[in-house]
Each structure stands twice: as C-alpha cells, then as structure tokens.
Structure 1
C-alpha cells in the first residue's frame, strides 16, 4: 500500500486492495494467494542432536587430547588410548546432556496464529483455514477469537483486543474505525487488529492488509531469524584461555621432542610417549567437565529460586551483566490494577493494599476513615460496586479476578470500603469503546438509581452538577475536575470518573437515556498497576552491585515515569518510542548512556536499544513476556522470560525463564551468577597447579635427560581424580561476603588476572619441584622405579589436597572455622580422593594398569610434609598480599 493502512481511510484501503465490504471473489482470492503466498510464518531449521553433540568437541584443549589419543593408538599403547578417549567422551556427554534442546522460538510464534477464520467470499460467510487468507479478504472478529492476519477495521461494536503480547499494554486496547495518526505507535493504532492478538470483548469486521511475514508478528519472526546468539563472557574467556593453553602445551612438547632427539638421541617411540605425557599433564582435561558440573549445580540452585535456565553458560553470564532491561507490566508491577487514590469535591483519600485482595484501608490524612462519616466516599464506592461487571473471589487461597482488570480494581476498592453487592440491577448499558462509559439502573433503598462510571471527559459532558462538600449538590466546576484529572494522570494513574442520578424502574436504561445527561459528578478514581512489594529493594540491591536497571515498556510515558520513580530508578524521565525512532544508531548509543526509562516502544525499538547498549560495551540482560520481546531477548547476552504470564515464543527465545515473573528473582540470579563465576575461577586456579606441577616434572625430566618421575597414564589418573573430587568441591562454595557490593567484572578481562597467574606459577613450582626432589631422593637411595613413582604420585595428590584447603579462600586466611563448617562437600571429596588413591597404590588390578606398588608409612608421611609446606607457603603469600594492600 502507498500509505500505512492504520492512517488511511477505509474506502481508500478497499480501493488499493481491489476489494469491497462484501469481500473478494473466489477467483480474486485465488489470484492473490498465488501473488502473496499462504498466510503462514517462515519455517526454521532446528539444530540436530548430532550437531549439538559434535559442538561439544569444539575446544582447543579437546583437539590436543584427540591428537594424543590418535598418537598413542598408532604407537600401540591401548590403555593410554582408552583412558584419554574416555576423558574426551565423558566431557562431551556432560555438555550434551546438560545443554538440552536448542531453542525454537519461531515454532512457538506459529502456534499463536489462528487455525481458522470466518471470511466473506463472494458475499457469503465461510470458514477457511487461516493460511488461505489473502490481502483484501473481509474477516469477522468476535470475543475469544484470535486475529488471523493484520486487519484494517471498518466496523466495530465495543471491540477490545488484548495486545499485551505485542505492545506491552497492561489493559485491552479499545478499537474503532477512524484513521490513526501516520506516526502513531503500535499501541495507538486503534483502527488496526494485529495477527496473533486476541479479541477480549465485542465484535468487528476488518479487511486483511497483510499476511504471513508481512504482518507485525511476521516482522518479529524476521528479526528473530536475523538475530544471532551472542557469545557469553565466559565462553569468550574460556575460548581464549583454552587456545593459549593448547598452543603453549603443543609448542613446549615440540621443544621437548627436539631436545630429546638432538641432544640425548632418545628413540622416537619413547620421545613421543613422553611428549604425549607432557601434553596430557599440561592440559586440564577435567576443566570442561568441572565447568559443566559447576554450571549445572548453579542451574539447580537457580531453579530452587524460581529461575529455570535453558543454557548453561547463561548462569554465569547473569553474574557479569552491567545492565538489566526490564519490562514493566507483570515483572516490576503486579499486573493487577489497583485504586490508589479517590478524589471527591470534599477530600482526597489514599487507598492501601495491592492487587485484588480486599485487604487494605482507605486513609484521610494517614488515618483510617469510617464510611458512615464520609457520605462522599460512600457514594463513589457505591458506583464502583454497582456499575461493574467484574467480581473478585478467593480461590485456592488467592484472590482472583473475573472480568476486566480495571473493573476488578475499582470493585476491590468498594470491598475495602466495606460494601457488599446485592443483586439489585434493573437494566444496564455495557461499556462500549465509542461512548467509553458503563451505566447501570439499580434498585437502591432510596429508590431506582443510575450509576455511571467511565472516562472523565465523557462523564463531565453528561453532568451539570457535582456533589458538594457536606451534603447536597452545586453547579459543576469543569475546570476544577480537569485540573485534578491532569494531576492524577501525572502520577501515572489511569483515571476513571463516577456519577449518579435518580432513575425510573419503568423506563429502563439505554444509551440515549445516559446521553441525555442530568448526572451529578461524584469524583475520580486514580488507578495504577502497582509495583510488586519486593521490587524496590531488589532494584536497590542490583544498583548497589553496579548494575543499571532500565525499564522498557509499551505503556504510556507518564505511567512509566511514575512507576520508575516509585521503585527507585535513576533518571525517571521517559524517552518515547517516537524519540527512539528519530534517533540514529550513534545518537541512540548516547541516549542509552543517560536515560533508564523508555515508553511506547515497539519490538524494533527494544532490539535497537539492546544493540546500542552492547555497542557501548554493556553485558545486557533483557526481560519480557510478549512476542514483541522475543527478538530483543534473543539478541541480549541473557534473555529472561516470564514463565507464568509469558508467551511460549518468549520462553523459547530466552536463556532463563522466571517461574514467578518476579524482578527480585533476577537479583537473586545475579548473585548466583557471580558466585558461580567465583567458584569457576577458584576451580581453575586450583586445577592448573596440578597440571603445572605435572607438566613441570615431565618437562624438566626430558630437558635434563632423567627418567620420568611419573608416566603419561599416571598423569591422566591424577588429573581425572582431581577433577571429579577436589575441583568439584569448589562448586559448592557459598557466596563470598559483599559479593553484591562490588562492580560487575569487565567482560573483556581475562579469566585469570596477574595475581592468579603468579599463584599458579608459584604453587606449580612448589608441588612440581617437591615431586622431582622426592623421586630423585628415592632413586638415589635404592628404591625401585615403581615405589619411587608411586610415592611421587602420592606427593602430587596430597599436595593438591592441602592446596584445596587454602584455595577455598582466595584472599583471607583459611585458618578459620568456616574451613570446617561452610562446605562439608569438600571434606567428603577429600575422603573419596584418598580412598581412590589408596586403591591406586594397593589394588592388584590398579597396580597392573598404572605400574604402581604398595608403599609403607614413609610413602604417605613424605607427601603429608610436602602438603603442609604447600599450605603454609600459600597462606604466607596471602598474608603478604593482604599487608601490601
């Protein structure tokens, strides 16, 4: 079409589509179907299980181990090959099973489309598959229907459409047939019905203006297809880390081969096995498994806090976020309309309590009021109760609404005032989007009464008097009420008005009776979707952690600003969708640095905002519940979907799903993410000295031409049992004190800082040097090679156990009661490792497999002494660092 359908007159829309209100002919529809294609969204290819499994092997460290396995197989060392291959396969299976099924958001969006529609063809109403719809078709809408395509409405009767999944609006949108402004935001296009939304009330007719991928929901699927998954900070760090380790191990192994062959004229078979032993020693092959298990434990702990994680790495990424972009409705707020203020000519009352529970009070100057002493309040509460088709009742321990959210809010207010509804209705004029009011004729004790509630401007037009202070009435002061309407609106409230007049049971009630006027204006209801009780504290906690919270909503700017101020967001002025639309990408990057509240946004705006933040170097978590949020959730570093009120499309595009739709759960998940990162870092700083010590032992032995103190197979044994016991123990460490007081880590930083690298080098040299010294001492004193190597392995293992005790506390001293009380799993893991090591030394089949032998008390006493030295040296190092700091 030459101009947007929502801003074009209906007759012109029909002309441009070559259609008419009687619908298309079958021939014209068939021709259009060939031109436009079926009314269906594009399919997408899913990742297969095989592709997901093969992806687990894409790691430089795994490449080195695969190369080692192939080499040992060619050399005929079957046991070595089997052990190395087992380590590689186990790591891959852990990642494969934990990662789960790949996301398929487009399939979930396709499920939102209506399967069939009532369409006028050749002047006759027929039911067709929605895929057969074409632009120009005339479609009938009724309450409960799903809108099958984008429609330009040309006939409406009290039509209201639930568009929250597409626009973020908290209440159904009123629809009419008049053209909207050409630059109207999506939520303000009252002349349109959009594909995938639901008819909440009323009926209407519309002409199809767009089908399939040309619809608003189709644009979202297109954006989803264009958005690629963002690498997490952990993934980037671990990729760099793995590459450096793998390249370093290979280069040093090549150097060892050259030295051994050129200087010592060692045979190629022995040289290659020694080089493989070094590569296996230097590579922490247990690290991928430890990382997967640590993340899996985090997933389980987060699930206990109502945060279900779909991608493992997203757990840690939550701990790295610098910005949380959050939806308003249902996440920061309760998604339950609540009366907060009542204004009559006599007083302004505040109403406490939230949601649809009648627990709460009506206050005047902070004191509860008695309804009998305030007839002005009693009369406006009466209108709230009787001019109302909603009801609230307690079911399964919770107060639940039946009816419209706004009606539910004012009905709850009437219950808080102490009124109880009795069936006295004689007649009613239901709410209609054209006249924007509801009226009832009720038999009251004083006689038949017409109760009227609705949009303030419509009620002011029908009133000539107002309730006066005290008793009686006075002439209507329209300017007075307009001032208060504006005042409540500035507080982000939705404003409804109440009026009444005497009625007649004999004449009934019709729209013409209401429009005749003669009403007495009673006052105003200020209604808002209030913040959840726990949200202000959660926002404060997140901000103290150095994370900015940004609200992005489809609601109006005044409402967004009011909620932002109430929950403590910084810079509460709302930037509108129109401002975002007019900004270039570079201008948008400047806008997001200074503003935290965005209103009347479209899916494109949300996606651009996330990309602008990422371009500024931010790590972004994005929350949402509607289909309109799905592209931005997929683009974000962590997409967080609402599990209770969110759409399936949003959940499938997200990385984390909140079972309770609560922002406070995000704050808890951020703390868990930081804890997991700390524990992963501790595991790496703990594991690498094992590999460093083993690598150092083999490297030094080959350079100086001495017998290897430990074999390649023994190296694999130490790495394997350390990974499944001691390293795993660090996954259970609790959060460090003050974890939510520190700034987010820079995602570009390496996973190991200079302090960690120095610690690794220091401990590697200490344990490796002690192992070589023990082996040489035993050899010089006549011990057999098997005894010397067995005690050397024991030295490595026990040295690691004592290092674990001090590594659990990165900076503070380990000589504290928490060493024994805060992580009982660590002691269980030490016990398991000692049992495995005893089996390694004394069980015959283990002795045969690993060339070990039984040793006496000396074979354990020496390793314990070495362990105590390691513990004392690291504690001394920490003490010096604390003193320097």
Structure 2
C-alpha cells in the first residue's frame, strides 16, 4: 500500500495564494473584452473606411456618409456576437475543465486546475491529465505517457523522485506528485495558452480570405490613385463633387462586411453548439468539421454506453472460488476501469483476502493482475484481461470466447499464472447500445461520410455491435494485430475496411495517419486514455464529457452531455458556417470586381464617376449587406472542399465583369440622352447595377425556400420604394427621367442577368465534372 501524505495545510495554501504562487494559466477562451473590442474596431478595413468617412463629412451632405454608419453597425455586431460566444465558451469551459484531485489537510478533494498552488500534493490515476510540473512522491505501477511532449510512444514507468511534466497523462497505475512549477512557469503552459485562444488562425477559410484581401488591396491602390486623378480633372471646377465621386468609387472596392460575416458566422456557430452542450475548444474546429470525410469511432462510450454489467461468468475450473478472486482483484485496484467496475458491482471484496504486487490495466497490455493471498495463506498470481492476449492462438477456450464475442458481448478471461496461463473463468460483460447510434450512423452515410470503428475490444465483438447497428462492412472485422506495418499497405487496409478490433493506442494513431495520407479529413471520437494520441493527431478530435481528463484536454470539441447524437449537429454546423461564408463571399467579391472595373473604365473614358457614395451604400445594402447577413446564418449541408479562393473567383470575376459592362453601358446611353443632367444619368446607372446585383443575389440564394424568395423580393420592393417615395427620391438623389432610357437600362440588366445564368450554368457543369472525377478516382469504400 502507498504511504499516504497529508499534503499542504489550509494555512499553507493561503500563504501561497497570497504570494501569487498559483496556477494562473488563462482560461481557454482567453481573449479579453478589451481585446475583442480592439480586434473588431481597429482593423485595416475600418481604417480605410474611416478616413474616407471623415473626408466625405467635410465636403458632402450626410446622405453620402451613410457608409460610415454601416461600418459602425458592422463593428458593433461583430463585438456583440463575439462577446456572446466568449460567454458561452467561458461557461462551458468551466464545466468541461479538468479538476485534479488535490490532497490538503489529509483529505482528497477535486479543485479547479487554476486553484492549484506550489507544493500541492496532487493524486494521479488512469486517464488523469498532469496539469502542472512536479516530482513524484507516491507511485504504484504508475505509467505516464509523455508522447505529446517528447514524441516517444512508450509509456514511462515513474517512481518516487521522478519528474512529471504538464501536458503528459497517466495510462496506468496510481500515485501522487508534488507541484514544483505552476502557472506560466509550467512546461506546457505557454503552448497551451497559445493553442487554446478564441481565434481564427490556422484555418483554410481564414487563409483564403487573407489571400482575397491582399489581392483586393493591390487592386485598390492603383485604381484609387487613378480615380482620384480622373475625377479631379473631370470636375476641376467643382472640387466637392470630385471628392464625392472619388470616394464613391473607392468605398465599394473594400469588401468591408466579408470579414465581419466570417467572424459572426463562427461566433454564432459557437453559440449554437454551446446550446447543445458542445464545448468548442479551438474555433477552427468548426471549419474542420465541414471538411470531414471519415469519422473514426471508439465502440465503448460512443456506439455503446460506457457502463457495463456482468451478464455471465463461465467457470472453467470448479475448484477455484471465482467470485472471491474477482472480488479481490476488484478491491485491489484503486482506479478501476468500466470493465472492472462492473465486476466490483457484481462481486464485492471477500473477507480474508489480501493483495500485493498489483499490475494495473493498460490499453497496451490489455490485462491487469495482482498477487492474491487467500484466507488459507496461499498466494497465486492472477490476471484478468483479453482472452486472445492471455492465451496462445488455437487454445480451446478462445473458441468459446469468440462465441460470446460474436454476439456483441465483451469477454474477459481470468487466469492463474503458473508456468503457463491456466484459464479459470470467462467473465462476460454486456453493454447497451446507445439509442441514438443508428440514426447518427445513418446521418453520416447519407452525408457521404465514411465511418470507421476502431476499438481495443475483440474484433468479433466489435463487428457484432457494428452489424447490429447496420454499419456497412461490419461483416468483416479486422484484428489490428494482423494489420501491415508498411505505411502504404496500412493505408490500403484502413480505407478498405470498416471495423477494427484489438487496436492499441499507437495503432489508433497510425490508422488516423493512414487515412489522412489517403487525402481524408479525419474526425476521431473517444473518451478513454487509449484514445488520446489519435484524438490529438486527428484533424478534429471529439471527446466525451465523461471521458478521461486527458482525452478532453487534447480534443477540439467536447460533448459535455456525452450525447453521441450531437455529432450530426456538430458536423452540420461546420458545413453551415463554411458553405455560407463561401456563398456570401461571391457577393462581396463581385462588388469588388465591378467597382475596380468601373473605376478603370471611368479613368480611361474621362467621364464623371457614375455614382455618389449614397447610391452605392443603397445598392450594397440591398444586394450584398442585408442578403449576406441572412444567407450567412442559413442552413447548409454541403461538405466543404479545398480551393475556396478559386471557386469564389470563378464566379465573382465574370459576374463582376458582367455587372460593370452592363452599368457602364446604360450610363453611357444615358449620357447621350440626358445632356448635362448628371443626376438622371446616375439614376439610370444605379437602376442597372441594382438589378444586376439583385439577379446575382437570386442566383446565390438557390435552392429557393419561402424565406429566400421573400428575401429577394423584399430587396426589390425596398428599391422600388426608394424610386417612388418623393422623400427617399430626394434623400438618395434618384430621379428616373422619361421611360425610354430606364426601359433600355432594364433591358441591359436583363441581358446581364442572362449572362450571369450562363456563368452559373458553366460553373455547375464544372462542379459535376469534378465530382465525377473524384468518384472515379477513389475506391468503393470511400465516400
């Protein structure tokens, strides 16, 4: 037995708290309120728009400064949504955070990790995450996995006096250690602090947006200078008018709402998942979910409930008191796993038995054991674990064990270790299938997401459970001990099979890597210490809230209610975010393209810019800002793919060219009819650009639902109201003169709309060709 130490006293803890010797690592959603406000307010785009806003206030009426109000509103929306997301994360992080067991005044109690102080005595058991650095003071077969820090796969046996580092976790045994470095001084604290921020970094979407913004910046600079010079020359006798037209040309070049809507979509995603008790520990995980093509599941805790019960004990040696031996083995383990907990519930500790030289359960060994002494003083070595690990291949008992396994039952073998292992009893454990598992698996199949069951249990047993859930490929379970080790062959086996049993922790990691090598985006779910390495290496790690602290610590998403059926909602949320950002990016980039082209045409033709800032604020609001706000939050089930920038430009560039050509054509027609009536000319150009922009919205909004149709119709009705209400006509300086030129403008807009439909048709054909190519290039087991 371990020699128990009392730990710090209450007074000693208070002294260390007063001295600041506490584990003051920031919480996971670490961006403060002031940082959120600064990040949303002081941006490059806001700086550009702010300068233009000040300039227009000096030389123009308030109508032409409306774009400034839009920027303020966008910033406020961004701040409010991110603060809501922060509150959600903070609240859930408290629930999902690891709570180490600390011994103080001789009593053990759970505390928050932030409450640990220097010299605290922290207890350890299987699955516990080591949250601060320290020295081992008590150890009973204590094995620590440091692979997340060192890359070394084999667990390290720790003895009193050995060092343990934050970021490692316990795989077997029990013990305690004294904290020697806490807070930011701990080994992994700095890495954890940087990796756990509420941020959009390391995101394909964010990288794509940055690429687009850099491209736009390079376009704006020369176009802006040329436009300034042009309008100065054209309106030399009217400097305020020249400045107004120049600002009008520059403002729409900036995709000011695109970054806002991206941040808002992610923040709303966090809030929606929070309502389902899903803790998003790394924000890019929402994006990664949209790209998932394979989900790897552990059987226990996902397909079946973690709790087990003893269904049957098949005695193989009538001379052995099996219930007493099982009870003694259960009592010898201070931190029993679910299997041993079921045995403890069925067989309490017998009187007169003693244990020593205990060997705790390890996922790598797949057995536990101890030297037990019976009431008569006789000692023997007993082991309890996987039958096919404890017995040689071909042993007659294995056939009986396989029979139970084929029914989906978990089987443990009790052996007495002499010269060889002598089988004594088969312990049959039953697990209940989760009620939500069939529907969840069906969802993944419908969405083209492959499911792989990767379990440490017997392959026959895992296959039987998977067959009961109707999982394709479950008729051919694979024993992971027979898997090839050569990477290419392993990747072939991983992709070509569905159910894997007897998978060790390192093999789980290798299977994830093999699937990634075949181009898959892999999500891994798990709850045990044996899942930690695979959870860490997967593109998206999803841990159960009741799982080990180590598994929760490395996962990007934690299902706090252990609700497996929440996974479809999590995947759907990721798809909604990414799909909708791509959808609205088409609108913003179309505006940028036609704005730049209009500026170039105006410079070349030496005519006044066709719009005032108020006109483009109106057009942008009705054809981009308002529709994009609703479309960014709409349902979207399409799986995200790589190549975000290319797909957006394939639509935005031709659509922007069409809009620019249509607008400048109607503007030049109007200039030939309305001599020296710049307001009438501008009104015709505004009508054309609005109609083309609304047509683009109608294309982007497909497939139609009642609310999408209502959205498009409402934008058209709003513009018609501006054209017909006298006050709004004057406010926006829009007056259509006569019927012939406006009719021509409508005709040009309709022609442009047909051109946009041709662009959409060409892109749809390109997408179909790509999908057919992808399907022909992959095997039958790949979605």
CA contact (8 A) 1:39 1:132 kept: yes
CA contact (8 A) 1:287 1:684 kept: yes
Of 47, 62, 80, the match for 1:79:
62
**Equivalent residue for 1:680?**
581
Summarize the Cα distance change of 1:89–1:133 in structure 2 as closer, same or farther, 3 Å threshold.
closer
Q: Secondary structure at the match of 1:707?
A: coil
Deviation at 1:252, TM superposition (A): 1.4
CA contact (8 A) 1:798 1:863 kept: no
Kindly provide the CA deviation profile for residues 611-645 of structure 1, in whole angstroms up to 9, marking residues without a partner as x: 99999997665656689999997997655453566
Deviation at 1:706, TM superposition (A): 1.6
**Equivalent residue for 1:771?**
663
Kindly provide the CA deviation profile for residues 483-517 of structure 1, in whole angstroms up to 9, marking residues without a partner as x: 56976899893526699xxxxxxxxxxxxxxxxxx
- Structure with max Cα Rg: 1
CA contact (8 A) 1:224 1:630 kept: no
Of 33, 44, 47, the match for 2:31:
47
**Equivalent residue for 1:224?**
192
Query: In structure 1, what is the Cα distance between the partners aligned to 2:614 and 2:353?
Result: 80
CA contact (8 A) 1:456 1:497 kept: no
Query: In structure 2, what is the Cα distance between the partners aligned to 1:766 and 1:535?
Result: 50
Q: Secondary structure at the match of 1:335?
A: strand
Query: In structure 2, what is the Cα distance between the partners aligned to 1:763 and 1:182?
Result: 59
**Equivalent residue for 1:799?**
692
Matches within 5 A, 1:567-606: 567=466, 601=505
Kindly provide the CA deviation profile for residues 810-836 of structure 1, in whole angstroms up to 9, marking residues without a partner as x: xxxxxxxx64xxx22222222332343
**Equivalent residue for 1:527?**
429
**Runs of at least 5 residues in structure 2 that lack an aligned partner in the other structure:** 108-113, 131-137, 146-152, 167-173, 331-335, 359-367, 379-393, 417-422, 467-472, 770-783
Query: In structure 1, what is the Cα distance between the partners aligned to 2:489 and 2:415?
Result: 45
**Equivalent residue for 2:251?**
280
Kindly provide the CA deviation profile for residues 565-617 of structure 1, in whole angstroms up to 9, marking residues without a partner as x: 955699956599xx9xxx9xxx9999999869896659xx9999999999999
The reply to whether residue 871 of structure 1 matches residue 767 of structure 2 is: no
The reply to whether residue 708 of structure 1 matches residue 609 of structure 2 is: yes
Summarize the Cα distance change of 1:539–1:592 in structure 2 as closer, same or farther, 3 Å threshold.
farther
**Equivalent residue for 2:204?**
233
Deviation at 1:719, TM superposition (A): 1.0
Kindly provide the CA deviation profile for residues 697-752 of structure 1, in whole angstroms up to 9, marking residues without a partner as x: 3442333122332112211221123234333453466546xx46xxx623xx3423
**Equivalent residue for 1:118?**
105
The reply to whether residue 751 of structure 1 matches residue 738 of structure 2 is: no
Matches within 5 A, 1:355-434: 405-406=338-339, 429=351
Deviation at 1:132, TM superposition (A): 7.3
Q: Secondary structure at the match of 1:527?
A: strand
Summarize the Cα distance change of 1:50–1:698 in structure 2 as closer, same or farther, 3 Å threshold.
same
Q: Secondary structure at the match of 2:86?
A: coil
CA contact (8 A) 2:296 2:453 kept: yes
Deviation at 1:254, TM superposition (A): 1.6
Of 642, 648, 651, the match for 2:544:
642
Query: In structure 2, what is the Cα distance between the partners aligned to 1:731 and 1:630?
Result: 35
Kindly provide the CA deviation profile for residues 347-367 of structure 1, in whole angstroms up to 9, marking residues without a partner as x: xxxxxxxxxxxxxxxxxxxxx
Q: Secondary structure at the match of 1:210?
A: strand
Q: Give the TM-score taking structure 1 as reference length.
A: 0.59
Matches within 5 A, 1:720-759: 720-731=621-632, 735=636, 739=638, 745-746=641-642, 749-753=643-647, 756-759=648-651
Q: Secondary structure at the match of 2:611?
A: coil
Deviation at 1:867, TM superposition (A): 4.4
Query: In structure 2, what is the Cα distance between the partners aligned to 1:715 and 1:336?
Result: 62
The reply to whether residue 833 of structure 1 matches residue 712 of structure 2 is: no
Deviation at 1:335, TM superposition (A): 0.9
**Equivalent residue for 1:850?**
732
**Equivalent residue for 1:824?**
706
Kindly provide the CA deviation profile for residues 101-122 of structure 1, in whole angstroms up to 9, marking residues without a partner as x: 28679988987245662349xx
Query: In structure 2, what is the Cα distance between the partners aligned to 1:383 and 1:726?
Result: 69
Query: In structure 1, what is the Cα distance between the partners aligned to 2:457 and 2:161?
Result: 24
Query: In structure 2, what is the Cα distance between the partners aligned to 1:707 and 1:687?
Result: 24
**Equivalent residue for 1:789?**
682
Name the stretch that deviates more: 703-712 or 50-59. Answer: 50-59
Query: In structure 2, what is the Cα distance between the partners aligned to 1:847 and 1:588?
Result: 70
Query: In structure 2, what is the Cα distance between the partners aligned to 1:594 and 1:131?
Result: 46
Summarize the Cα distance change of 1:261–1:844 in structure 2 as closer, same or farther, 3 Å threshold.
closer
Query: In structure 1, what is the Cα distance between the partners aligned to 2:623 and 2:306?
Result: 50
Query: In structure 2, what is the Cα distance between the partners aligned to 1:750 and 1:409?
Result: 50
**Equivalent residue for 1:89?**
72
Q: Secondary structure at the match of 2:76?
A: helix
CA contact (8 A) 1:489 1:558 kept: no
CA contact (8 A) 1:278 1:699 kept: no
Summarize the Cα distance change of 1:238–1:610 in structure 2 as closer, same or farther, 3 Å threshold.
farther
Give the superposed CA RMSD: 6.3
Q: Secondary structure at the match of 1:112?
A: coil
Kindly provide the CA deviation profile for residues 451-489 of structure 1, in whole angstroms up to 9, marking residues without a partner as x: xxx9899799999xxxxxxxxxxxxxxx98865697689
Matches within 5 A, 1:281-320: 281-292=252-263, 294-295=265-266, 307=278, 314-320=285-291
Query: In structure 1, what is the Cα distance between the partners aligned to 2:717 and 2:343?
Result: 69
Deviation at 1:666, TM superposition (A): 2.7
Summarize the Cα distance change of 1:618–1:63 in structure 2 as closer, same or farther, 3 Å threshold.
farther
Deviation at 1:51, TM superposition (A): 0.9
The reply to whether residue 251 of structure 1 matches residue 251 of structure 2 is: no
Summarize the Cα distance change of 1:226–1:458 in structure 2 as closer, same or farther, 3 Å threshold.
same
The reply to whether residue 666 of structure 1 matches residue 567 of structure 2 is: yes
Of 751, 755, 780, the match for 2:672:
780
CA contact (8 A) 2:93 2:279 kept: no
Summarize the Cα distance change of 1:759–1:44 in structure 2 as closer, same or farther, 3 Å threshold.
closer
Q: Give the TM-score taking structure 2 as reference length.
A: 0.65
Matches within 5 A, 1:478-517: 483=398, 493-495=410-412
The reply to whether residue 101 of structure 1 matches residue 86 of structure 2 is: yes
Kindly provide the CA deviation profile for residues 406-434 of structure 1, in whole angstroms up to 9, marking residues without a partner as x: 588579999xxxxxxxxxx9x96499765
Q: Secondary structure at the match of 1:250?
A: helix
Query: In structure 1, what is the Cα distance between the partners aligned to 2:722 and 2:144?
Result: 78
Name the stretch that deviates more: 613-622 or 840-849. Answer: 613-622
Query: In structure 1, what is the Cα distance between the partners aligned to 2:518 and 2:428?
Result: 39
Query: In structure 2, what is the Cα distance between the partners aligned to 1:293 and 1:131?
Result: 36
**Equivalent residue for 1:149?**
121
Query: In structure 2, what is the Cα distance between the partners aligned to 1:290 and 1:650?
Result: 33
Query: In structure 1, what is the Cα distance between the partners aligned to 2:121 and 2:289?
Result: 37
Query: In structure 2, what is the Cα distance between the partners aligned to 1:652 and 1:270?
Result: 60
Summarize the Cα distance change of 1:237–1:720 in structure 2 as closer, same or farther, 3 Å threshold.
same
CA contact (8 A) 2:314 2:427 kept: yes
Query: In structure 2, what is the Cα distance between the partners aligned to 1:280 and 1:792?
Result: 17
**Runs of at least 5 residues in structure 1 that lack an aligned partner in the other structure:** 1-8, 11-19, 121-128, 135-147, 152-160, 168-175, 197-203, 347-375, 391-402, 415-424, 437-453, 464-478, 500-520, 810-817
Q: Secondary structure at the match of 1:245?
A: helix
